[in-house]
Amino acid sequence: MAVIWVTGGTGFVGDALISALIARGDQPICLTRNPERAQARHGALAQHVQYVDQVDAFEEVPDAMINLSGEGIADQRWTDRRKRQLRASRIGVTRALKARLATLGGAPATVVTGSAVGYYGHSDQPLTEVDPASHDFSARLCADWEAEASDFASLSALYTLRIGVVMGLPGGFLGRLQRPFSLGLGGRLGHGRQMLSWIHRDDLVALILWCLDGRGAPGVYNATAPNPISNAEFTRAMGAALHRPTWMTVPETPLRLVLGELADLLFRGQAVYPTAAEAAGFEFRYKTLESALSQLFR
């Protein structure tokens, strides 16, 4: 049984991750702002999880740490205040974890830390792990988060996952779109050529466990399926999976007026490939969006 600190354990990915850790016999210690609500969310699994509401409540050096902390990047308009919250929930929490481990006088054998494909900014060219960070807000957020976590590499095997849009149900990205698409109101965004780099939630959890087990060398891995798609292709696939028409087009200008800079996530994209993970032998179960949607909406 491995003792594992987990941040972000009550999020969309964290729910599935906690379940997978328990299933393999690990002991998760989950950082959450509201332990009571986290216990209710995890239901029967909660008896196998220890919940703490502050970093200083971690009482021993863990065997491993999974750091997926972070407010939802697309949950609110990016005001200056919201940008500070997004940075604090990622960079600030990572800094606090480092300070706590220093106080305890040790380090986990393995650290898996989150990042996102936003690191690369927006590009029409294929992107792999060797490509540099861009310069917009989401790119700097990811780059600074990775830089803060890089100190773990001196004492631990550090795995950095640049995560794409996570496909799963209920909730998450697909959960937000399921109702409008089911009502026949789904449609492409703008010209629809912007690329979407995605990953099935089950594959993401499997990749995290793969890193925990040291099956690949420490380093940076793009946590994306091998086949990114355009927004227009995604729209057609969603319509086909739900047996609904997708004739609408969502214009860019009105949404930009409402969402501001956040609209870049919708109307500008990137095609990110998991070159490092595939080269190291990781097997994706869901390589195409059609296979992922077929499993999720079956």
Q: What pLDDT score does 124 carry?
A: 84
User: How far lies 207's CA from each of 143, 196, 253, in Å?
Assistant: 21, 19, 38
Check: CB of residue 174 under 8 Å from CB of residue 166.
no
Which residues are within 8 A (CB) of 161 and not within 5 positions of it... i.e. 6 or more apart? 112, 113, 114, 115, 204, 207, 208, 211, 221, 222, 223
Q: What is the pLDDT of residue 209?
A: 98
CATH class of 3-169+197-226+271-286: alpha beta
Given a contact cutoff of 8 angstroms between Cβ atoms, the answer to whether 128 and 270 are in contact is no
pLDDT under 50: residue ranges of the chain:
none
